[in-house]
Amino acid sequence: MKGYSTQEVAELLDLPPEVIRDVARGVLDPDKSPRGRYRFSFQDIIVLRTAKELLTAGVQRGRINRTLISLQQRLPQNRPLTALRIAGDGGQVVIRDQDKVYNPESGQIHFNFSVADLAGDVAPLARQAAENAQANDEQLSSDDWFDLGVDLEAVSPDDAPAAYERALELDPAHSDAHVNLGRLMQESGDYRGAEKHYKSALQAEPDNVLAAFNLGTLLEDLGRINDAIEAYKGAASFADAHYNLSRLYELVGDHAEALKHLKTYRNLIDPN
């Protein structure tokens, strides 16, 4: 029978079986074996991992279940709990969504001021650098243009691609510029251009973990699952690559490989 047993999940997540069963009864709806034992899907494990993180952050077990149940009831049917980043903050449960943090129980929204303050500090510097770059083009190296692109992403995203492109004109093998430009193209829907730049980054720097990981996400978005698996393998030192590999192997029905990569993911994020 497909799925993971309570004991397997307990070992993978280092979570007591009674906690797993408690969350399963209150929040999840896992399949059961003919003997009535829980069989957890990969998506169930994601929610259980979130429950562990909340417990570690000091959130009481009763509040965890109440919050997760409340979230399930409020979310659109096509958006599962696994689509949210759920975290603990001072004993409270919070949802992190891009530049916002909000309390799912009260609905109160908190702005992530660390992001806003950083962008505000960088904005005048980045704009001044862009003006200086236009006036003194010959004095800037490919690394200078790359750094300018990074700054511009925070304050003037539309201008960032041109800075990365200028870096690549000066140094076609600038792997980091390829990665960042590829990421911007992927976000804008230019998947062909993004794939080209990720592969150029890997050609210039075969062990570029970020290029391999980003290429994996792109190929996964395109539905090229086997190609995505091969790409993620190139990011073997990156914990999230193993997490995604486990999910994809589960998708193609290779339970053993899924379990192996999930164990590797756990070892990388918690070597103790």
Do residue 150 and residue 69 come from a single domain? no
Give pLDDT, residue 178. Answer: 96
pLDDT > 70 fraction of the chain, expressed in percent and rounded:
68
Taking all residues of the chain, what is their mean pLDDT, rounded to a whole number? 76
Report the CATH number at residue 162.
Answer: 1.25.40.10
Instruction: Report yes or no on 252 lying in a domain.
Output: no
pLDDT for res 97: 52
Q: Do 120 and 40 belong together in one domain?
A: no
**More reliable by pLDDT, 266 or 211:** 211
Domain shared by 159 and 220, yes or no: yes
pLDDT the model gives residue 152: 75
Q: Averaged over 3-20, what is the pLDDT?
A: 82
Q: Is the pLDDT of residue 121 over 50?
A: no
Distance of CA 199 to the CA centre of its chain: 20
Q: What is the pLDDT of residues 209-246, one digit of tens each?
A: 999 999 999 999 999 999 999 999 999 988 889 989 99
Residue finishing a domain among 34, 63, 81: 81
Domain membership flag for residue 53: yes
Q: Per-residue pLDDT averaged across 248-256, rounded?
A: 91
Q: Are residues 64 and 124 in the same domain?
A: no
Task: Tell whether 235 is covered by a domain.
Answer: no
Confirm if 144 and 151 have CB atoms less than 8 A apart: no
In a domain, residue 105? The reply is no
199 and 140 in a common domain: yes
Domain of 186 in residue numbering reads as 116-228
Q: For residues 77 and 150, which has the higher predicted lDDT (pLDDT)? A: 150
Last residue of a domain, one of 66, 81, 96: 81
Average pLDDT over residues 87-100: 52
Average pLDDT over residues 107-124: 43
- Residue bearing the bigger pLDDT, 202 or 238: 202
247: exposed, middle or buried (Cβ count in 10 Å: 0-12, 13-18, 19+): buried
Read off the CATH number of the domain in which 32 is found: 1.10.1660.10
Mean pLDDT of 37-52: 76
d(CA 109, CA 107): 6
Q: How much is the pLDDT for 76?
A: 47
Q: What is the structure's pLDDT at 5?
A: 82
Same-domain pairing of 121 and 52: no
Structure confidence at residue 2 (pLDDT): 55
* Residue 125 and residue 215 in one domain: yes
Residue range 90-99: average pLDDT? 52
245 is a domain residue? no
Please report how the helices 61-74 and 17-26 are oriented relative to each other, as an axis angle in degrees rounded to 10. Answer: 30
Q: What is the pLDDT of residues 57-76, one digit of tens each?
A: 777 777 777 767 766 655 54
Q: For the chain, how many structural domains are there in total?
A: 2
> Among residues 27, 61, 81, which one ends one of the domains?
81
Q: Please indicate, yes or no, whether residues 58 and 121 belong to a single structural domain of this protein.
A: no
| 58 occurs within a structural domain | yes
Q: 99 pLDDT band (50/70/90 cuts)? A: very low
* Residues 138 and 193 placed together within one structural domain of the fold: yes
Cα dihedral across residues 31, 250, 84, 57: positive or negative:
positive
Clarify whether residues 76 and 122 are in a common domain: no
Q: Could you give the CA distance from residue 195 to residue 217 in angstroms, rounded to a whole number? A: 10
* Model confidence band, residue 198 (pLDDT cutoffs 50, 70, 90): very high
In a domain, 108, yes or no: no
pLDDT at 206: 94
Tokens found for residue 67: 């919050």
Tens digit of each residue's pLDDT (9 = 90 or more) over 131-189: 665 565 556 788 878 877 876 776 677 878 988 998 999 999 999 999 999 999 998 99
Domain check: are 68 and 122 in the same one? no
Let me know if residue 271 belongs to a domain. no
